[in-house]
Structure 1
Amino acid sequence: MNWDWEKLQEKRQRQSGSTPPGNWGPQDPGSDPLGDGLKKLRDFRFPVGKLIIAVLAIMWLSSGIFIVEPDEVGVVLRFGEYNRTVQPGPHYHMPFPVETAYTPKVSQVRRVEVGFRGSEVGSFTQGQLRPVKEESLMLTGDENIVDVQFIVQYQIKDPVAYLFNVSQQAWTVKSAAEAAMREVIGYNAIDSALTGGKLDIQNKTRDLLQSILDGYNAGVHIVAVQMQDVHPPKEVIDAFKDVASAREDRSRIINEAEAYQNEILPRARGLAAEIVNQAEAYKETKIRNAKGESARFENVLTEYNKAKDITRKRMYLETMEQILSNPDLDKIILNDNTSGVVPYLPLDKLDADRAKKGAQ
């Protein structure tokens, strides 16, 4: 607000009538409060420099306010030396250069790529990958070269050690991971790396990498080591395909042979068991028949000793009954008046029957 001091002074002089020139208010401040206040207002000059200094001081003090997010931990340094660790929430530290605060994300899962570079995070399509041969080519235990591309996932275990014990933390993890993978691959054959040994290689690499980083006191926890693509070098991949095809053919032939074996062996065992059972049955039959015939002969002998003539006649009659009642036998009956036997015997037919029985 702009004041016209000259006009105001003249007005006050006219009203008082006794105010000497140059004095625009009464001599007693208590007798004229308005005039005294106007004099103070006229004499007031606020220093702009002090205002600027005050604003800068407030801004400097307020720069010590910082907020730690839920997935972070605050690490406060005093004159460049570790002082304290704070948990998530609002905090205050002495402004720079007295104290400085870092807020690393301890729950975030970081990753490094070894042997390739992806165009975007989480993309593993082959068309979007750029191979890095100097990192991926490794020597196996059976002196073969294999191309291994893998990723390492890790978290911050100790934020103080992570920030101050090693520099370029991601590069350190990647270099240690490459060394660990080369060592593990060097103890395994190429078949393990290409087929069923991948899980064991991943676990051993993870444990070895964790041991290396613990030796560095890097404050890092290895979450997982995942092999993305493992294949022979392009120069020899055709030869490996031929070897794989030969192994598949060998496995197929072995499976077919085992299937034939599993089919023929039970059949052979069943046939052998059948022959053995038949032999046992034949044996048992012959033994029982022999025992029966022996018992029958002993009974007949007992009866024969009691009455020899009658028993002899009965046996003759029973034998003749069996012969004459058999339709398969050709019978020639001769009486007592026949002078010769030879002309009546069918010798040609008897010879033919003997030859037929011999062929059977």
Structure 2
Amino acid sequence: MNWDWDKLQEKREKQQKNRPAPPEPDHDDFDDFDQEREERPFRQVRRGGQRNNFPNLPKLGLPQGMLIGGGALILLVIWLLSGIYIVNPGEAGVVLRFGQYNRTVGPGPHYALPVPIETVYKPQVTRVLRSEVGYRSAGESSTYQKGQVRPILAEASMLTGDENIVNVQFSVQYRIADPVAYLFNIHEPDALVRSAAEAAMREVIGNSLIDSAITDGKLQIQADATNLLQNILDRYHTGLRIIAVQLQDVHPPDEVRDAFKDVASAREDKIRIINEAEAYRNELLPRARGEAAALRNKADAYKATRIQNAEGEAARFSALSSEHQRAPKVMEQRLYYEALEDILRNAREKVLLDGKTPERILPYLPLSGPTPPTAAGTQEKR
């Protein structure tokens, strides 16, 4: 390769020596000379301090108009393809045309005219947002931990209806209901929700008593604050929907907290004693009512039994009287036998004497205990 290159160099030097020197260009023709150099496919290359020309190489490249047209076409295709966008689940696509609202699209792939004709915003409409009033959580924790929050007394201090001061710390959960109103009607939505929630809670607390706010009225306060806050946001056309207002901590100022704790403890003791008394009453009264009902039922049963027995005896006596009038001797003998039958049936011990024995001796029958046998008669025990 070195020998070929040296041989080629020698051949070119001989050609340059035999060729006449070109005339020097005038200054007036300098522009024409530059144009001629630009049209050459390859410019002169200086190598080793000498000027080398390659006149025998072929010309390369395309016409300048085709290159510009092809580049413009590629840029146009890329610009048109940039209008393809995807709306993720839980988002809503809001399309603006020249800065004016045009349409809203749901999740999935869509196409919009590229910028600057159309612009697409994709707010998350299913995400639950959270705003804190009266305190700030440490980090991004979504749970209220009393020892790890920073209280904001300027927001938490509120005046109750009975002119007492109470510190209220609560949170508001909300989401985007109308993405168009959310994007174009409000600025800094979190600050707006916090201010509106504070105003609503102050009004509700101002209409409540401190005892209700601290003890058993929290649920009603949360419901009233939720409705009032939603009405405020609707009047502002914010496009937000309140999910819940949750009271995290409601307590009096630190200076009087101990006294309020004593009052609350006494109130709890009162409620506890009342509940115990109610439980005792609820246990005693049904038992007394049951015993009274049992006695009443027994009395009614005894009454019915006596009445029925009396009616039966009266009916029996009437029947016997009618039969006695028909056959007095027979009825009297029958009654005598029935009476003896009843007496003998119910007697535990019986002593039988013949007809002549009672005439000779005086029969002595003990009133209690077993009867000893006698020679005067026979004793039969059953």
Give the TM-score, by structure 2 length.
0.55
Q: Residue type of the partner of 1:216? A: Y
Shift of 1:136: 0.8
Gap change, CA 1:128 and 1:298, over 3 Å in 2: closer
Gap change, CA 1:37 and 1:282, over 3 Å in 2: closer
Q: Residue type of the partner of 1:16? A: R
Residues 156 and 167, structure 2, Cα contact 8 Å, conserved in 1: yes
Q: Residue type of the partner of 1:174? A: R
Q: Which has the higher helix share?
A: 1
Gap change, CA 1:139 and 1:311, over 3 Å in 2: same
Aligned position for 2:18: 15
Gap change, CA 1:67 and 1:128, over 3 Å in 2: farther
Residues 174 and 241, structure 2, Cα contact 8 Å, conserved in 1: yes
2:135 to 116, 119, 130: 116
Shift of 1:36: 8.0
Instruction: Please give the alpha-carbon distance, in whole angstroms, between the structure 2 residues aligned to 1:155 and 1:255.
Output: 42
Aligned position for 2:115: 93
1:151 to 138, 149, 171: 171
Q: How many residues align?
A: 293
Shift of 1:182: 0.9
Q: Please list every run of 5 or more consecutive structure 2 residues that lacks an aligned counterpart in the other structure.
A: 1-11, 26-35, 46-74, 350-357, 360-382
Residues 92 and 179, structure 2, Cα contact 8 Å, conserved in 1: no
Gap change, CA 1:211 and 1:140, over 3 Å in 2: same
Shift of 1:209: 2.3
Matched, 1:247 2:256: no
Residues 68 and 103, structure 1, Cα contact 8 Å, conserved in 2: no
Aligned position for 1:128: 148
SS of 1:291's partner is: helix
Shift of 1:229: 1.7
1:265 to 285, 288, 293: 285
Instruction: Please give the alpha-carbon distance, in whole angstroms, between the structure 1 residues aligned to 2:287 and 2:39.
Output: 131
Deviations 1:192-219 (A, max 9, x none): 4334543443343233223323333445
Shift of 1:179: 0.5
Deviations 1:55-83 (A, max 9, x none): xxx9xxx9xx89988558678797xxx44
Instruction: Please give the alpha-carbon distance, in whole angstroms, between the structure 1 residues aligned to 2:119 and 2:232.
Output: 29
Instruction: Please give the alpha-carbon distance, in whole angstroms, between the structure 2 residues aligned to 1:313 and 1:90.
Output: 127
Gap change, CA 1:240 and 1:91, over 3 Å in 2: farther
SS of 1:185's partner is: helix
Matched, 1:234 2:289: no
Gap change, CA 1:120 and 1:68, over 3 Å in 2: farther
Deviations 1:27-70 (A, max 9, x none): xxxxxx9998399769xxxxxxxxxxxxxxx9xxx9xx899885
Q: Aligned runs of 1:12-161 on 2, under 5 Å?
A: 13-17=16-20, 19-22=21-24, 37=40, 70=87, 82-83=99-100, 92-94=114-116, 105-107=123-125, 109-122=128-141, 124-155=144-175
Q: Residue type of the partner of 1:122? A: S
Gap change, CA 1:101 and 1:302, over 3 Å in 2: closer
SS of 2:172's partner is: strand
Q: Residue type of the partner of 1:22? A: E
Instruction: Please give the alpha-carbon distance, in whole angstroms, between the structure 2 residues aligned to 1:134 and 1:119.
Output: 18
Instruction: Please give the alpha-carbon distance, in whole angstroms, between the structure 1 residues aligned to 2:328 and 2:273.
Output: 78
Q: Aligned runs of 1:176-191 on 2, under 5 Å?
A: 176-191=196-211
Give the TM-score, by structure 1 length.
0.58
Instruction: Please give the alpha-carbon distance, in whole angstroms, between the structure 2 residues aligned to 1:207 and 1:146.
Output: 22
Residues 147 and 231, structure 1, Cα contact 8 Å, conserved in 2: yes
Gap change, CA 1:152 and 1:75, over 3 Å in 2: farther
Deviations 1:210-254 (A, max 9, x none): 332333344544444332222233333333333333333333333
Shift of 1:126: 1.8
Gap change, CA 1:214 and 1:239, over 3 Å in 2: same
Instruction: Please give the alpha-carbon distance, in whole angstroms, between the structure 2 residues aligned to 1:77 and 1:310.
Output: 128
Worse overlay, 171-180 or 217-226: 217-226
SS of 1:120's partner is: coil
Q: Residue type of the partner of 2:191? A: W
Residues 115 and 135, structure 1, Cα contact 8 Å, conserved in 2: yes
Gap change, CA 1:291 and 1:213, over 3 Å in 2: closer
Q: Aligned runs of 1:257-296 on 2, under 5 Å?
A: 257-296=277-316
Instruction: Please give the alpha-carbon distance, in whole angstroms, between the structure 1 residues aligned to 2:223 and 2:242.
Output: 11
The share of aligned pairs that are identical, in percent, is: 49
Q: Residue type of the partner of 1:186? A: G
Residues 73 and 85, structure 1, Cα contact 8 Å, conserved in 2: no
Instruction: Please give the alpha-carbon distance, in whole angstroms, between the structure 1 residues aligned to 2:320 and 2:41.
Output: 170
Worse overlay, 110-119 or 131-140: 110-119
SS of 2:40's partner is: helix
Instruction: Please give the alpha-carbon distance, in whole angstroms, between the structure 2 residues aligned to 1:165 and 1:245.
Output: 49
Q: Residue type of the partner of 2:229? A: L
Shift of 1:161: 5.3
Shift of 1:180: 1.0
Shift of 1:151: 2.2
Shift of 1:15: 3.4
